[in-house]
Every structure is written in structure tokens, then in C-alpha cells.
Structure 1
Amino acid sequence: MYSLTKYARTLNEITASDNTLSLGLIMTEFAESPLTESGKENGRMKVTLSSPQSGLIKVTAQVRYLGKDTTQVISTRPSGSGIIDNDENSVIFKSGMLEAKINKTGTFRIVISYCGIPITATSLNAFFASRRPDPYTGVCFDIAPGESCFGLGGSGTIDLIGRKEETNNMNESAAFNKVPFFVSSRGYGVFVNSCGSVKFDFASQSGSISIAQEGETIEFFIMAGNTPTEVIATYTGLLGRDDTINSLSNGIAINYGNNYDYTYESILSDLDQAQDLGITISELWLGTGFLAKNARTGYTWDAARFPDPGKFIRKIHDRGILLGVALTPYISDVTPEFVECVDNDYLVKDSEGNILLADYDSGSMAIIDILNQQARNWLGLKFDSILHMGIDLVEADFKYELLNQDKPTSYINNYASTFNMIVKDCAARCIGSDKDSIIRSSTSAGDQTGPYRNIFINKNTASYSSMACAVNNALSYGMSGYGIVNMDVPSIAVSSPTLYTRWAQLAMLMPHCRLPVPFCKDSEMLETLKLACQIRSGLLAYIESCCVEAASFGAPVIRPMQVEFSNDKLSAKCQNQYMLGSSVMVCPVFSGAGNVSFYVPSGVWTNYLTREVITGPRIISRKADIKEIPLYIRPNSIITSHTGDTITFSCFQLAEGKVAAAEVFGQDKAVSGVVNVLRQGDRITVKTDGFGRSTKRVVLTGITNVVGVSEGFPDSDQYGTTIEFSSSELIITLG
């Protein structure tokens, strides 16, 4: 049976009222079968353009009204920012610097421009409706030669061009949750306002981007900016972003995972061993392992292994370590609460009304139906009872795979965001919204309002290829509005000391990371791990600033090279390296032999560890020592660090006549200080604001010809010159 598709190609009606532009379109039938008559007009489509805020255009295309769309992620206010210009040839809908132009004659198209420059347009088959056999309504956008697209949530690759994707998370691994948002290298983004099934085709068979939403209506938002990060800022501003960033690990965060064999005594023994090895532990994550082994999905501590949970928690806190647990929406059929859930109808059921059960090695478990308000409240109280004991950190641990496939896609996709919100609310009540830190294993559309999307792989696989996939996945989530991520080093990697080391080095250069227990016992690897911790510690103030930027503006902490160097065509080919913020380039080693190849963009870059300089653009291929991860600082950058009460501003390759700047944030994440450095001929001016008269230190990397300073004494070595000062301005004279 061939599917029939109708395309809206002819404009026959234009109306404007209340800052909203309405278009009536005549649809033309086309069939996939060459034996079926095509080309006849049949049906109408209504397309409306509105703007809930400046710089954002909402487009709704509807074949027929069948009631309110229950799959919408957000509801927006009536159009208040739209301006409509209507003349005899065209009609233009404007919102801020963004505009949509429709010619009144010829084939129907919408041309999208930003700051007067066209950035995309709907294609020949602009809007369509089809049955395949279920109804879908969609839109097609032209794609330009060399254009790249990023986003859609988790993905094993960065650029989406040539791929087909669907936002049905039931069909995806938990590591690759999809969201209906993408951003183009041409400076625009599209968010489809649906938690239902949305199909994307990024020019896999044609020169266009096709988007199809399940049902008789599609609603999407178009946004634009000078850079992809500006587009993401608009997107996260629309859907929300978390404004609190807590628990950036200065030491190591260790993760026991869902291990039910460890005990109160064995954990304290592991911490003693780590201390003897010179490893500083800052966070301890128990997973769900604090529960009983035969009831591993429940809400009660295992009395056999943890007879006094309060005492255990105090022991951990006495060591200066934060304690985290995983919370799940699952419940074992051997727990006392199971009967209560059955009697109150709190459990997810299949289409025949039977409780949905999943079997595992010690019994069966069900899923709390958190879209039922009473069940949701009940689960929140259970979580409160756990967190109130003194828990500091939380992992929202939910995997889509256990939900029944006959549930509507909107139910399945909405489950994760609802669960994450329950956990966030409980953490805010019990820990404090200014102190809680939440890692989320699954997400869905509109679920960007909490940090630390978890980046992990299947626990049974660990290789350099999966490590590279994890990097691409983290980058893809970042370009989808999840600006801050956590990376878990897989426990199976411990069996290969070299792989473990390379993965740990990479994870240390993420916003947050967790290492598995037990540690790799190889002595050389342990020394390398300590060095990676020292590197992270030196960059922690910089990473924290990047996290605050992500929380404030949505800009991802880790970014594809092409995003930072959009005019550099070679950067589009860089799949195995990334930018940490705007100033640090990370080139992970994906080889047991240490072979690494990476691209250096234009300018003079500085190796963070050796202070060696490299001039780009060029491609470098070399062998990296096991203790080294290639880490380069962008020209005209400032990297801040803290040592006790002294703050250090390390300046790299200062550019003539261009200000280098950095912000330093305090514990409350408010701006606590700003530093600006300007080089003009033989004079360098350092200005600071917000640090009071505390001790400050400026390091001029690669500059040794200092002949005069307005304060302090220059201390030069082979790497550069260091000057301590306390005033708000320092003048440096070069010889």
C-alpha cells in the first residue's frame, strides 16, 4: 500500500490580526506509486506565524483541528512581538532582527532572514501532510552546500547531515536520548514543540531538511543568532536553564555504581587506601547499592550492610567527602511498599490493564506511574525520606527501555523530564537549591533545567572507539541545550590500565566526572591519574567560569571546533577534539600506542603543560606519552587559578591592541572579579575589578623581557614572567 502525501504549494489567503499572520494554503496530492494519479488539488492547510518574544518566530501548520495538541512541551503567550509588513508583492513577519518573507505569487515559500541576510528558506515542498500509515504533518527547509547541523540530543556523531533520526526514546539507548532541536552552522535553530514522535531527515536523499511531527499539526520555533551559541542561548532561554552550578570536583569523584557487595567497612577501607595512595576523594557515589540486594529497586537502606546509615553518612562527611545516591522510579515486588502501590494503582500498566513487570536476577520490578499525581506525590515523599538523612548529591537514574512500547510516544518521552523534576524538587527541599547537584541518566524535550546530563556507555563495552563516541555524544548534548555534562569512566576499563588512564584523562577535562571503584592498581597509572587531577585543579576556576556561562546563557562548556571557528573549513572535519570553553583545546588520545592527530587553527597556541608554542593552521600527528593529553591554550586568552588566598591570571600569547578578559566567580556563582589585559607596543596594562586588595598574580607566558612594573617585582624563568600585585591596576613595561 502506497502512502499519499499532500504538499501545500499555493497561497490563496492572507489575514493579519493581533500580531499574528495567518496563511491559507491549497494542498496538492502526490503518491509514491507511479500508477496513482498525482497533482490534483485536495484540501487546505492553515499556517500561522506569531512571536511570543523578540527574536523568535513560532510557526504552526495545521491540516485540520482535532482538539488541543496534548504533546506540546511548552505553552507560549499570545504573539506580542510580531510586526507585519504587507504590500502588493509580499508579506513580511518580523520579530526583532529575525524575519520571514512570503511572496504572494509563485510557489509558496517562506524565506528566513537575520539582520537582513537570508539564512534559510522552506523548500519547494514547504509544508506537507501524509499518512505512513499514521498521520504526519511536516515542513522542509533548504540546505546550503557545506552547511552543518548539530543537536537532537545524544548522537554518536557531531554533524547531523546525511542522517535520519526520530525523537522516540523508547527506541534509543539511554545514552542517546533525542530532543527535537537542532542548530545550523548558518546561524539558525529549529525547535519542534512536541514530546511526541518527530522524524528528521537531514538531506539523506535530497537537498533539504525534512521534519515530520506525528498528527495533523506541527508547531515549531525558529530562532537565529550571529553564532550557534547565540542560537542555543535563545533556545534555552525559551525552555529554561539551570541557574545554579554546584559541586565541581576539585578532587576525584568515585562511583560504586549499582554494586550490592560493598559494605560500610569496605567503603571506609577503600577511602583509607586512596588516602595512602595520595588520592584526594571529594565525592562518593553509591548508586542504588545502598539498597538490599534482593530489593535493589526500593527506598530502604540495606540493614545488613548499613545497620546505622546515619553513622555511616557522618563518617563520610567527617572526611570532607560529599555523599551521593541514585534514585529510581522502579520498585521491587519484594519490598513492603509494593503492595501499597498495587492497592493504590500507582504502577504503570500495559494496554490490557496488567501491571508492567520486568524480571531480573533477584525478582521482578514495576515502574511508578509518575504521570499519576497521587503516585508522583507518594514517590516524592519516599525520596525525601532518603535525602533528609544527609545525602549531598543525587543521580536521577531512569532508563526508557523498561517502559512498555504500547504507551504513546508522548507518554514515554515525557516520563524522563517528569521524573527529573521530581528528583530536582526533592533535592531542593532536602539539600537546598543552592547546594544540590543532580546527574540525570535520561532526558527529553524541555528538560534542560538541571545540570549534568550523564555521558556513559554500555557497562559491558569499553574501547577507544566507544571513548570517541562518548566525546561526540557529549558534544551533541551540548549543542542540544545541555550545556553541562558529567562523564562516567566505565568500570570495565579498569582491566586495561592504558585505556583506563586515557579515559580518566579525558573525563577530568569535562565539567564533572566520576571514576569507578576499584581503582586501577598499576603504579604508573596511579601517578598519571594524580597528574590529571592536578591539571583539573589548575583549570578548575576556568571550568567553573565556563559552567556559569552555560547556566547564564546556555553556551555549552564543551564545544565542537566548528562552533568556535565557524570560518575555518578544516575545523568542520575535527571529530576527535573539542574546545573546553572558548580558550582551551582538548585533543584526547584514542590509541593504546599513544598516537594522536589533531588540527590547530590559525594563531600561536601554547601547550598548557610544556608551554611549547605551535603556529596554526596545521595538522599535527605525533605520539603522546601516557602522562600527557595534548591541551592547548588559544591565543590572547587568560586562564585563572586559585592557590589559597592568591588568584593567578595566566596570560597566553597576548595580541597587540586586543583586550584579553576573564571573569572569576565566587562560591555563590555571582561575578566576584573581572580581569582585563591589554598589550600596546612595549606596555602591558592589567586591570582588575572586584578582588579588593587581595593578593593577585599575573603570569605572562612566553614573555621574559620585562624591564619595569608599577608594583611588585618581576620573576622570570624559561616559561615567562610572574608578578604579584594587590592594586586594581598594574602597568608592565617591556624592553
Structure 2
Amino acid sequence: MKFTDGFWLMRDGVQASYATEVRDLRAGDDHFTAYAAVHRVRERGDTLNSPLITVECFAPAEGVIGVRATHHAGKARRGPDFALPGVSTAPGSAKVRRDGTVTELTSGPLTLRLDTAGPWGLEFLDAGGRRLTAVERKGTAFATTPDGAHHMIAQLALAVGESVYGLGERFTPYVKNGQSVDIWQADGGTSSEQAYKNIPFHLSSRGYGVFVNHPGKVSYEIGSESVGQVQFSVEDQSLEFYVVAGPTPKEVLTRYTALTGRPALPPAWSFGLWLTTSFCTPYDEETVTSFVDGMAERELPLSVFHFDCFWMREYQWSDFAWDPDVFPDPEGMLRRLRERGLKVSMWINPYIAQKSPLFAQAAEAGYLVRRANGDIWQWDLWQPGMALVDFTNPAARIWYTDRLRTLLDQGVDCFKTDFGERVPTDVVWYDGSDPERMHNYYTHLYNEAVFELLREERGPGEAVLFARSATAGGQQFPVHWGGDCFASLEAMAESLRGGLSLSLSGFGFWSHDIGGFEGTPEPAVFKRWLAFGLLSSHSRLHGNVSYRVPWAFGDEAVVVAGVFIRLKHRLMPYLYGAAAEAHRTGVPVMRPMLLEFPDDPACRSLDRQYMLGPDLLVAPVFSVEGEVEFYLPDGTWTHLLTGERVQGPCWRRETHGFDSLPLYVRPGAVLPWGADDTRPDGDWLDGLTLLVTPDTGDGEVTVPGQDGAAAAVFRTARTGDRLTVTADDPQLPFCVRVVGDASASAPAVAGKAVLRLC
């Protein structure tokens, strides 16, 4: 929200008060509180009829410093609040030091400095004393607007050339400088400033992050009101934010996800191809069987079959009951699908339509959100007379998940948790939560309830969602997909921008609708999207008004699908290692170039390519003709499919057929390569090959098991042109091969392989 009219004036009706000077400071061993007047105090009379802003500085975790600015502290806190599992209550994680007028709070490599001798301001310094950012003269304030609303405002300085990223899955430009962003859940598709996944966390190219600890609407002006400031504001009496130390972007994400929660590790089978009925298309068991048969006949491996909305009766979503006219034998159908080795996913949402018998049941029990006058909140958008399940009511949560438990007993494996964004603010919640704060947070309760049910029923290693909406902490319940995009190359590119933005907001796993959701893609668009989709962490064929089976787009689409499905399966020993890293550290599977190459200025704005794990560079092709432009950082990169070697740093223009794209192996990498291309969850050590590059040197690589723990560890040692690879288990058979050169290979003998590199 903008409060000023240029540099000198305020907008009509806005009155602002800025922290100006410190009038008192009280310090403990690990925190301090400053009391800032909003104008210069020259005599005692200046202390009358004038507010103070209370600024509390503390360290919620190692390497994280929090600032809480409050005008009136008496406002009742109704919740909800972000659950922050990483907040530390142990003493000693921070230390206050005072030297004359200077007070410093240090936590890990991060220091906050306040000098009470000068005008109001806070400086954040790294371990070497370099200034990361600062709260400057207008950086702590409150303002009232013509409608009487009270806003708390904070500003953090931007350095010359500093770039800002994140704030959730945003489809606007990847670098957020110059944008106005509202953290407010909306069902707006992928082609506007609205977003399904709004995260009040941004990451800076200078090696720090900032998390605003407020679940309601947070309004950002990123160099868009004051061009040298990131401003954020809330309609409240208090504003709390945390500065998260790096110094690298990976370390920022590691600290941030330690604070807000790390992603669970999805099961290995979920990394295979998901195929759906699509949304508005006609389908029944015969249709479903024809799809599964068609994939098998064309030798296209399939891992998950998904039933979208119309598995339930029309006008009755969600009542979790199969439409008996379409699926008269759901248990038998599910059994037959499982006998073919498939997992089953079901579409659900948190709304209950009036026509469903569940509506009256939930209404009588008090499980639906109500207005202040006691009426159940309803409208006719999406489903006629639909109401919203109140997940703040523990009994309602149990009632809702018990409906899902019945489906799990029938043989369902996981759920697509759709919607969760259209949450009203003119309602009363069971637990008394503030409706404005609950609007964004509702999705967290919804996805958490379903995920915890799956964890309970299927085991901790088997729980997985396909979720659309999220807020901070939602990364704990993967996987998330990009929502409703058009079937166009432009929408494919905006989807990638959204995924990269989300990955810099702490989310380890992300997917999208291959071919686009709205409309029917041209065959060329579908084939280009296949390559991108199957080189994402999770891969799903889904559409709106038309099916997404590959043969609907021609024989070549079948070939392309086969190439990339089998490629992903062979990459699983590598990909699941990246997944385990995301679970362990919070570093995502799909990584913006900035994460792996933070010191390369050319990587800071790249939004049409990414690293898949630490060692594979992917540049999707966004043209029918196959022309693609991308950047290779320093070193000699090797194309995984052709073995071509290219010396970076350089910009490349290439032309690719539909069965190829720029897919380069990082210099010096060791890539575990599976033998089984028929499924994602096979025995990765059976027939394992380690792909190396001619410049691979000393190092170590781990192949995970399906629990994410190390199943095998290999060490590489370079002497001249000889590379020796040794397995921790001398009985483990494996082979070492140079990327793209089948003739340059060596099988292991007694757990050791020696390869001559040219």
C-alpha cells in the first residue's frame, strides 16, 4: 500500500508518524527494547500528547533477528499466528553488547546495531561487519488512512544493484523490484498479479532474507513507492519481521525453513507421471481404463492416476461420495488400478454444497463457518449454496478427515487439495480467530489436516498432496502445483516464473499442468511442455475441457512423452538425492540459477532456466521452432543427451527438436544414473551407473534409499587423467561412465572402478 504522494507529500487523508529518536532503551542479555518518539524532543513539553513506538529486538533462532514495532499494545490478539517450529527458547542463542550510545544484538553471523546518539535507525550487519540492510529515517512508522484504518509500516534499505525475490508463487516478473505486492490469497490463475500461494518472505541478492511474521494481508512496495526501500505494512497496531542471515541464498533458505518448517519427503512413486481424467471432460471407468491401457500399449510408464472433480455427483462437491451412475463399483475399480501398479489420487476441496446430505449434517453440528448473526456463510460461486468447513473447530477437522478416511479404506492413496483461497472475511470462526488473519492462513489448516491424515493412515514416508494454495509454513505439506494456466507457451513461461519464485520462498517441491489447463494446446506446445514437465520435481498431465493423453496430440507426442518419462526414471537416484536434501535443508529441488551461482551477476535475473538439483541445468524451450537462448556459468558443461561440451561462461542459442532441450551437466559433477526406466521407485542400486565429466575430481556422492537415508556412498579421487571411484560397500556392483560417451566406461571390481579421462 502506498502512503506517500511522491517524496514530499502524503496521499490525501493519510497521516503518518515516524520513529525519530530513541528516548529510552532497556536491554537484557539477549534482547533489547527501544522507545522511539515520533518527533524531536527539545523540552519536556514535547513529551506530551505525542505517541511512542515501542521497538523490541530479539533473536528467535540462530542467525535470525526479529524486530517488533508496536504503537498501541493493548489490542487483543485473536490469532491465528504462524506456527514457527524453529523458534528457539534456549538461552545463549543471542548476545547484547553495549558500548556508549551503541547497542548491538548478535545472533550467529548477524548483528543488529542501534546508535541512540543519532536519529532513529537500525543497521543489520553480516559477520564481517558489512551492512546488509538498514531501517532508515522513515523505516519505522504508523499511519492512518481516510477510512480510519491504522497501519504499521516498516522499510528496509535497498543497496545499489540489489535484487529482491520470492513472496510466494508469483507470475509477475521474477525479480520483484518495482512491484507492488499484496500477500492475499486469490483464485486468479497464473496470468495476473494475484497468487494462490502468498508468502510474506523475500530473499535478497545480498545474502539475507526477511520474513514478516503476520498471517494477514501484508502489503509490499518493493522499490515502488520509495525506490531505495522495500516497504511492507499491515493494518494492525504491531508489525513483526525477522531478518534471516546467509551469507549465501541457500543458507538463508536453510535458516528460514528451520524456522517455519522443512518440507516432508514425498514418496518416490510420486515423482513418476501422474495422469488425470481432466476436469470437465466426460469420463467413467471405461474411459479411465482406456487411458491406462493406452499408456501401457504405447509403453509409456504411468505411476499415478488422478480422478478430478466429477468423480462426485454434480452440485454436491465435496461430499466424498462416488457418483453411482458413473462409477457403480468404485472399490473394484480401485482394486483393478492398484493391481496394475498404479497409485490413485482424488480431487477434493474444503467446501460443502447445499445439495449434499453432508451440508445439513455439518450445519447441525456447527462445523461450517458462520456470519456474526449466526447464519452459515454461503454463496453460489463454484457450487450452489456452498459453505466452508471450519477447520478451527477440532471436531469439524475430525469429521472432515473421517470422510477421507473412508476413501483411503477403499484404496485411495493421496488427495489433490484444491482451492482454499476464497475465504470470506465477514465471518466468525469457531476459535474466535480474526477473519482478516484467517483469510490467508485457512489453507494451512486445510492442507495440514489432510496431510496429517495421510501420514497417520499411510505412514510418514507415504504422505503426499497435490495442493494449490499455501502460506508460510505450507512447504511442510508437499507437493504444490501452479494452478490454472492457459495452454500456451507464454503460460508455460509464466508458470516457470511462479515456480522459481515459490522455490525462493522455502518450497522444496513444485509442479504444474503439463500442456496447460485452460483450453487445448497445439501439439507443438504440448510436446515442449512435456520436456519441461518431466524435468520438474513432479509431473502431471491435466487439463480442463480436453484430455491430456499424449496420443491425442499425435504420434510424435507419444515418442516425446516416452523419452522424457524414461529419462526422469533413470535420473531418480539423483533426483531423490535432491529431494532428500530439500527435506533435510530446505534447499529446493528446482533451483533458480541464483541459488547455485550467487556470485555470478548474470544468474540473478534468469527466469527461463533452472538447476534441477545441484548438477543439472535445464532450459525449457518456449518456441514452436525449437529456438532457445540460455546462459551457462563458468566451467565446461556437458550436454547429458549428446555429450557435447561447452565452455562457459557464455550465452548460447540452440535449436532443439521436440525430443531434446538444453540439459547440461555441471562441470565436475557425478550423476547417479539408474538402470530401470520403467518406474520411479525401483531398486536404484541395481545396475547403477555413475556419470562423470572429464573434469570430475575429488569428491563424494550419495545415492539415497527410498526413505531418503544414504543407501550407498561413493568417493572419487583424481590423479592426473585417472579417476578412481570407490564404494563404501565393496560388494556393490556399479559402473562409471563419462557423460555422453558410452565407450568411456569402467565397471567396478571389488567396489572400485578406475577410469581414464581424456
TM-score (norm 2): 0.89
Say whether 1:651 aligns with 2:692.
yes
Query: How far did residue 243 of structure 1 move?
Result: 3.5
Question: Cα offset for 1:497?
Answer: 0.7
Partners of 2:303 and 2:280 in 1: how far apart?
A: 20
Q: Secondary structure of the residue that 1:435 maps to in structure 2?
A: coil
Tell me the secondary structure at the aligned position of residue 531 of structure 1. Answer: helix
Amino acid at match of 1:50: F
**What is the deviation of 1:128?**
0.8
In structure 2, the CA distance between the partners of 1:734 and 1:563, relative to structure 1 (3 Å rule), is closer
1:487 paired residue among 504, 512, 515:
512
Partner of 2:28: 17
**Cα shift at 1:696:** 0.7
The CA deviation string for residues 520-561 of structure 1, in whole angstroms up to 9 with x for no partner, is 420112111111112212222211111111111000111221
Distance, in Å, in 2 between the alignment partners of 1:59 and 1:730 is: 55
1:701 Cα deviation after fit: 3.5
Q: Which string of whole-angstrom CA distances, capped at 9 and with x for unpartnered residues, describes residues 299-344 of structure 1?
A: 2112222222211111001101111112221112222111112222
Alignment partner of 1:295: what SS? coil
Q: Is structure 2 residue 62 aligned with structure 1 residue 54?
A: yes
Count of aligned residue pairs for this structure pair:
707
Determine if contact 2:487/2:520 at 8 Å carries over to the other structure: no
Q: C-alpha separation between the residues in 1 aligned to 2:369 and 2:669?
A: 53
2:638 matched to 1:638?
no
CA distance in 1, matches of 2:257, 2:376: 37
Gaps of 5+ in 2: 1-11, 41-45, 429-434, 677-685
| 2:405 aligned counterpart, secondary structure | helix
Deviation of 1:727 (Å): 2.8
Q: How does 1:306-455 map to 2 (within 5 A)?
A: 306-350=327-371, 353-359=374-380, 363-401=384-422, 403=424, 408-455=435-482
Instruction: For 1:214 and 1:671, locate their aligned partners in 2 and report how far apart those are by CA, in whole Å.
Output: 48
Question: What's the TM-score once normalised by structure 1's chain length?
Answer: 0.91
Deviation at 1:569, TM superposition (A): 1.6
2:109 is aligned to 97
What's the counterpart of residue 683 of structure 2?
A: none
CA drift of 1:222 comes to 1.4
Asked if structure 2 preserves the Cα contact closer than 8 Å seen for 1:642 and 1:648, the reply is yes
Higher normalized strand content (fraction of residues): 1
CA distance in 1, matches of 2:179, 2:609: 21
Q: Following TM superposition, by how much is the alpha carbon of 1:357 offset from its aligned partner in structure 2, in angstroms?
A: 2.7
Please tell me whether residue 578 in structure 1 is matched to residue 610 in structure 2. Answer: yes
Spell out the pairing of 1:143-292 with structure 2 (5 A cutoff). 143-156=158-171, 157-170=173-186, 173=189, 175-205=195-225, 206-249=227-270, 251-259=272-280, 261-292=282-313
Quick one: higher RCO (CA 8 Å, sep 6+), 1 or 2? 2
Query: Partners of 1:284 and 1:734 in 2: how far apart?
Result: 44
Q: Hey, what's the Cα distance between the residues in 2 that align with 1:492 and 1:213? A: 35
Q: 1:101 to 1:18 in 2, by over 3 A?
A: closer
1:515 Cα shift?
Answer: 0.8
Residue 401 of structure 1 and its aligned partner are, at CA, apart by: 2.8
1:259 Cα deviation (Å)? 4.4
**1:120 corresponds to which of 121, 127, 133:** 133
Question: For the residues of structure 1 that align with 2:711 and 2:636, how far apart are their CA atoms?
Answer: 30
Is 2:741 the partner of 1:721?
A: no
Verify the 8 A CA contact 2:493 2:622 in the aligned structure 1: yes
Contact kept? 2:271, 2:538, Cα under 8 Å: no
Structure 1 residue 269: Cα displacement: 2.1
SS across alignment from 2:51:
strand
**1:719 Cα deviation (Å)?**
5.3
Distance 2:363 2:200 in 1: 35
Q: Give the C-alpha shift of residue 286 in structure 1.
A: 0.7
1:192 aligned partner, one-letter code = V
Q: Secondary structure at the match of 1:51?
A: strand
Q: Which amino acid aligns with 1:163?
A: Q
Q: Which residue of 2 aligns with 1:6?
A: 17
Q: Which runs of 5+ in 1 are unaligned?
A: 30-37, 703-717
User: Structure 2: how far apart are the matches of 1:405 and 1:440?
Assistant: 25
Per-residue deviation, 1:278: 1.8
- Please say if 1:564 is aligned against 2:599: no
Native 8 Å contact 1:495 1:520 kept in 2? no
Residue of structure 2 equivalent to 1:33: none
Q: 1:210 to 1:548 in 2, by over 3 A?
A: same
Q: In the TM superposition, what is the alpha-carbon distance from 1:673 to its structure 2 partner?
A: 1.8
C-alpha distance in structure 2 between counterparts of 1:357 and 1:366, whole Å: 5
| Distance in 1, Cα, partners of 2:310 & 2:391 | 23
Specify the code of the residue in structure 1 equivalent to 2:750. Answer: S
Letter in 2 for 1:664: V
In 2, Cα distance between the equivalents of 1:209 and 1:6?
A: 18
Q: 1:506 to 1:234 in 2, by over 3 A?
A: same
The farther-off stretch of 249-258 and 10-19 is 249-258
Q: Deviations over 1:491-511 (max 9, x none)?
A: 556541110111111010111
Paired residues for 1:37-76 under 5 Å: 42-67=50-75, 69=77, 70-74=79-83, 76=87
Are the aligned partners of 1:245 and 1:669 in contact in 2 as well (CA < 8 Å)? no
Structural RMSD (CA): 2.4
Q: For residues 47-96 of structure 1, what are the alpha-carbon distances to aligned partners after superposition, in whole Å with 9 as ceiling and x for unaligned?
A: 11112332221211111212453243136455732211101131111112
Q: How far did 1:571 drift?
A: 1.7
Instruction: Judge conservation of contact 1:8–1:27 (CA < 8 Å) in 2.
Output: yes
For the 8 Å contact 2:368–2:387, the answer to whether it is kept is yes
Map of 1:715 onto structure 2: none
Separation (CA, whole Å) in 2 of partners of 1:250 and 1:121: 42
Distance 1:556 1:627, change over 3 A: same
Q: Whole-Å Cα distance in 2 between the matches of residues 3 and 130 of structure 1? A: 7
The alpha-carbon deviation at position 175 of structure 1 amounts to 4.9
Match of 1:467? 492
Match of 2:644 in 1: 612
Q: CA deviation at 1:720?
A: 5.0
The equivalent residue for 2:703 is 664
Aligned residue type for 2:599: N
Deviation at 1:466, TM superposition (A): 0.7
Q: CA deviation at 1:404?
A: 5.5
